[in-house]
Structures are given as C-alpha cells and as structure tokens.
Structure 1
Amino acid sequence: MAIVQTGPRKLERRDLPIPAISDDSAIIRIEACGICGSDYEQYEGVLNTPMPVIPGHEPLGIIEAIGDKAATRWRVDVGDRVAVETMLSCHSCDTCLSGSYHLCDRREIYSYIPLTSEPALWGAYSQYMYVAPNAVVHKMDKSLPAEIAVMFNPLGAGFRWAVEIPQTQVGDTVVVLGPGQRGLASVIAARHAGAGTIIVTGLAADADKLKLAKFYGADYTIDVDNENAVERIAEITKGRGADVVIDVTSYATDPVRETLSYVCAGGTIVLAGVKGFKPIPDFVTDMIVMKEITIKGAIGVTASGYGKAIDLIESKTVQLEKMHTHNFSLEDAELAIKTLARQVPGDESIHSCLIPEV
C-alpha cells in the first residue's frame, strides 16, 4: 500500500505490486519517512513534479530483498537497516566525479519520479520502496527508535549547511535564521563543531522552538517580532557581527536582506531556505563588496553530512527525542503535511514522520 499524489492537494491510497529486483538493486520495507517543508510544497503543487507520484524522500527502512552486486557495493544485506539518500545521481559525469554528485545534471529525486517510471515505488509514503542501483545508502543501528533514526536527513542538512559549507571553525559566532527542524539541526551541528556563540532568530509564534534551540546549545535567541535583530546581534557580538549566518527560513525574503547586516566583515552567509523564486527587495550588494562577504547556496545533503549525522544519532549523546513531536500513519499523510505547515489549529510539529504498518 502506498499514498499517491494525483494532483495538487490530492492524495489517495493505492495498492501497488512489489517489483522484482535486479542483481544491482534492492527493496526496503519502510520503517519511517521524515516529513519536511518540501513535502508541503510538493503537496501544494508548487514544485511542478510529475504525477501520479509517491511522495516521501527521507526513507529509513529494512532491506527485504537485495541483489548480490548491490549487497557487495553497499556492504549491507537482507535484514539490515538503511538510510537512503534523497538524490539519485549518475556517479560518472565530471560533476559527480569531482565530489559534487548532488549537483549532477542527470540527478533525480526520490518522491519526484512518477509511477509511470518502472518500477513505480520511488517514494517513501509507502510500505515498501525500490532502491535503485545508483542510490547511496548508509547502514544504521537497528536498536534506535525509527522516529529518531530517520532524523539522519535534517541532521545531515545541519552538518552540511551550518558546518561544512561555511567551514565553521572552533570559536566562531553562528547565527541561524529559523528554528524549525533544520534550524535546530544547524544548532546541534554548530555546537558539535565547537562554535563559540550561537544565536537563533524566530517569530513570536516560535517561542517553544526557540526554547528548544537553547536546550540544544544556542546561547541567545531573538524574537524578531518583538526585538530588533540587527541591534541585538550587534550587541551580542560587540559590534563585530557573526562569522557565519545560515538562513533556513522558507519563502520569507526579509531574512536574506538582513543577513548582510548580521554577518561580520569577511564572514559567510549560507542560503538554504527557498523563496519560491521571489526577488529580494532592497538587497544592497555594495554591502557584500565593502565587507567582502561570501554567500553560498545550499541544496541537499551529501554523504559526509549524512555520515556525521548518523554518527551523532548512533552515539545517543543528544536528546533528539525532544525535537520529535509526531508519528503519523500512512493514511494520515495529509494531516502530517498540514500539521507541519501550521494549518491544523492548535497543533504544529517540529520533526515528524510517517510510520507505515505492514
């Protein structure tokens, strides 16, 4: 059984056959699928993904069947738990061979491949999922609760966006814009990397998330609805600004403009929150020139980020359960998406996932 998206805001249950595998592929039984902001964008139809399609690109599962070549390459076998990376790249072009396989021109994304493309089970809103020969998988400890193990994706983003891309150093001041699951993951990763001071901004409605940010290691939080973030960051940093600023807010363009005021001379800004291709009003590029600011984009996660995240999860040294708020059944996929998007009165989630029942 799988949940299939047939149009904008249209999900339906379908029974689909489990396909045979080749010597180079596998089938996993989905234990959990993480829910993220792009799931909502796909649900709304703004991503223009082909349909019908099975959503879900944060799969955690148990290998039910695997070909010999795949088992040798991935170093896993039937019964092992694996985290499956979101992107399917060719692994043979110049971009892939340079290490930037997430930018491959021929890359595909799990959950964006339609049912018309055999063998159909390309998304994790399902009891079972096909793992293609060009997939990248990571073995994980089976003793971990599935809802914690599946955090490999947002935590991987935290390590890549807040540490690897900006090359965060011990003692750096880091500002994280947005206290959602990836903002909190950025706090965890920056603290793990030895950041000196961590500041997190959010809205008044994010009060509980900002408290959680402090629990995970933020030194300061700023409610931008009631505080002047530019003045407060200048005060905290004694006028210097932050070495690293990470924007993980979605759709809001004001935070991008404001990063130029938050960052120090010679500092780095990482833009990881998509804005729906909207322009940034009053974005003063002279500030970039005069302060020699480095601005980097961040799309997706690569193996090193996933690896660091999995190591941290398996270490059990961080109370990740405090970030996890909801488990949903497959049949409640629409409710899961709407809860994350704050469309359910009186309820909202930070990290949530679907837990299929087989």
Structure 2
Amino acid sequence: MKAVKSAVISAKEQLEIRSFPLPGLGRGEMLIKVEMCGICGSDLHIFRGDWGEPYPLIPGHEFIGRVAQMGEGAAERHQVRIGDRVAVEMILPCWECEYCKAGRYNLCLQDRSEGRQYGCNISMTRAPSLYGGWSEYLFVPPNAIVHRIPEHVPLRRAVLVEPLAVAVRAVHLTPPRLGDCVAVIGAGPIGLLTAVAAKAAGAGCVILVGTREERLALGKELAADFAVDFRQENAREKVRAYSGGRGADIVFETAGTVSGQIDSLHYARTAGVVNYVGLTGNKTVPIHTDAEMTFKEVKLQTSFLSAGAYQAAIRIISGGRYPIEKLITHEFSLDQAYRGLQCAANRDEKAIKVILVPDLSE
C-alpha cells in the first residue's frame, strides 16, 4: 500500500513529517493529489495554538490539485473526472443544520462541535486522516464542494482561489456601488486580493493602507489606485484626501490587528461601512462606539471564510485581468514545511505569499 507523506502539527509549536496509508474509497469519495498549497496567516495561529486546535492535525486549506482516485458514484456526485484540476472548498458542510440549508455553511453548527474546516480544526485521528493540504494527497468526502479549474489557468494563479474566495465573500457581503471609494487595510495576501475583488466588483477608487514598499507597489500593480504606508504617512488624512474629503464608503480590515480594526472605523465616512475580514487570534479590540460608530451611523460587518464565493473567484482568475500569481514569492517542499512557515511568519526575503509544493525537489 502506498504511503502518503504529510506535514503534521502534533502539538503546540511542533511540526513533523509523518506517513499515512493511502485509504480505500467509499461511495462518493475521492482522493486529490495535491499540487500546491498556500501558507496562510491562519496556519501560524493554528501552529501557535491560538484557537484551541484539536492536535494532531494536518494543516493547509489553500490547496489545489488533480483528481487521482474516485469511489463509486464520485464522478456524478462531484461532476469531475480523473485528472481534472480542482479546488475543494475548505468547509465541509453538514447540509443538515439551518445555516447549511440557507447556504451559509461557513457558520455550520456541526463545525463548532466537531470540526469541518480542512487544515484548521479536523484532527488527523478522524479517519482517514488526510484532511489538510500540507500533504501529498487529500481526502474528499461526499459532502465536500468541488470546483473544476479550467486548464488554461496557470497553477500559480489557481492555488490562490481559496484566499481570493475569502476576499470575494467579504465584497459580496458589503458590495461597492459603481464608483464607490474603498479602503483596504492590510497589504498582506488577503488585503491585496480584497483590492482585486473590490475593483472587479466596480469600486471606482481603491486605497490600500499597509506597510512594506514591495507589497504596496504590488497592490498598485494589481488593483489599488493609491497606496498609503501608515508608518510613514498620516493614513487618516490620506484616505480622506483620496476619497474627496469624506472618508471611504467601505473599509475592509484584512490585517487582523487590534490597531487595524480600531483605525478602520476612522477611515470610514459618515454612514459608511466597515467589514472586519482579518482574525486577531482572540485579541480584544477596544472600540469607543459612541464617537467611532453611533454618532456616524457606521455599519460594522464581519466576514468569515469563503462560502458561496469560489465560483466568482474562479471567474476572476480565469479571466486573467489580474496577475495575482505575482503574490507568490517563495516555494518550499513538503519536507521544508517548517522553513516555509517561518518564512511566511517572519516575512523573510520580503516574502508575500509562501506555498508548499509536495513534488518540489529539495
């Protein structure tokens, strides 16, 4: 029986390489041969144990791969064939609770009780263990949501479909009207992709607020009209100036920092909207609601994960207008997973997006 190599977070801040047997498949089940998997900021939170993770687990939810094996009925269930390149949504809905039935499966009640997020909260003790993208193969159960990726899409663009879908969901929840001014706080991968999603949705002006010259420059190359380094400039004044003196119509906070979430409220115009997309890792955010929200009637929205957004994300990457593959700065093999995680965490060598490639030679 073939052995499957996977990177496993076995305990808080402990990462190791393990082997698993290639599982047999039941009705509607598939195996995906992972081609690439991104390293996300959430992976660092999981590695640090910020959310009470069910160790041991295989991390990785930003994966792309090809259908390798299918059980009986899987082709009809998932509408794919052997060899198709696919993205599998990172949420495994129960399809039974009220939220799944309403299409808001990112809020699945069973996810809270048993874990239904690939690479995030499914312990490898759950058979057949392969529920994370930092692995040579990924198990796909019948309840998974599978999307075929057009063959013309470059692999380094296709691997970004999940983080792009996170950005698309946020924009779907607080969509700009044609010509609206949008501010995006945070110039990391999610922030850069949110700028793309906002521009694709019709934003007239996108202001990217963050740090690091190379990230802000890439943001302008992709979709941002203006870039503001808040460490070098008065970001509140710049956002107001670029928005015609009013403030942004919509502000997306993607950095997941306490200061970023506080400042986002300052960047919004009166009667504007602020959408919290970033995760702070359970940090408390102090907000003076009277002055920063109520007196301005600012609407606060939150956005969690990527439900209902993969289709639009795939259309964006298929169109080719936005060269989002330029986010990828570093590649590591599966055996180098710890190095890749540290590279992403420390932003070594101006890292923006770090990916793991299971077949990459050392």
Q: Identify whether the pair has TM-score above 0.5, normalized to the shorter chain.
A: yes
**Which residue identity is paired with 1:15?**
S
Q: Where do 1:40-189 residues align within 5 Å?
A: 40-107=44-111, 108-111=116-119, 112-161=121-170, 163-189=171-197
2:256 is aligned with 1:256: no
**Which residue identity is paired with 1:353?**
I
Aligned-residue offset at 1:290:
1.9
Q: Where do 1:262-341 residues align within 5 Å?
A: 262-303=267-308, 305-341=309-345
Contact 1:340–1:348 (CA under 8 A) maintained in structure 2: no
2:219 is aligned with 1:213: yes
Question: How far apart are the structure 1 equivalents of 2:232 and 2:125?
Answer: 50
Question: How far apart are the structure 1 equivalents of 2:261 and 2:59?
Answer: 29
Question: How far apart are the structure 1 equivalents of 2:320 and 2:264?
Answer: 33
TM-score, normalisation: structure 1: 0.94
The unaligned stretches of length 5 or more in structure 1 are: none
Aligned-residue offset at 1:282:
4.8
Aligned-residue offset at 1:194:
1.6
2:2 is aligned with 1:2: no
Find the partner of 2:207 among 184, 199, 214: 199
Contact 1:2–1:13 (CA under 8 A) maintained in structure 2: yes
Distance 1:74 1:229, change over 3 A: same
Aligned length: 351
SS in 2 for 1:215: helix
The unaligned stretches of length 5 or more in structure 2 are: none
Match of 1:11 in 2: 15
Question: How far apart are the structure 2 equivalents of 1:187 and 1:2?
Answer: 33
Question: How far apart are the structure 2 equivalents of 1:54 and 1:311?
Answer: 29
SS in 2 for 1:125: coil
Q: Deviations over 1:94-113 (max 9, x none)?
A: 11111111101112111221
Aligned-residue offset at 1:280:
2.1
Aligned-residue offset at 1:348:
3.5
Contact 1:159–1:308 (CA under 8 A) maintained in structure 2: yes
Match of 1:352 in 2: 354
Aligned-residue offset at 1:219:
1.4
Question: How far apart are the structure 2 equivalents of 1:135 and 1:269?
Answer: 31
Distance 1:43 1:140, change over 3 A: same
Q: Deviations over 1:242-267 (max 9, x none)?
A: 110000113x2122222222111221
Identity %: 35
Q: CA-atom RMSD, angstroms?
A: 1.6
TM-score, normalisation: structure 2: 0.93
Contact 1:58–1:84 (CA under 8 A) maintained in structure 2: no
Contact 2:34–2:65 (CA under 8 A) maintained in structure 1: yes
**Which residue identity is paired with 1:315?**
G
Q: Deviations over 1:257-281 (max 9, x none)?
A: 2222211122111001112222223
Match of 1:25 in 2: 29
SS in 2 for 1:106: helix
Contact 2:45–2:281 (CA under 8 A) maintained in structure 1: no
Contact 2:195–2:223 (CA under 8 A) maintained in structure 1: yes
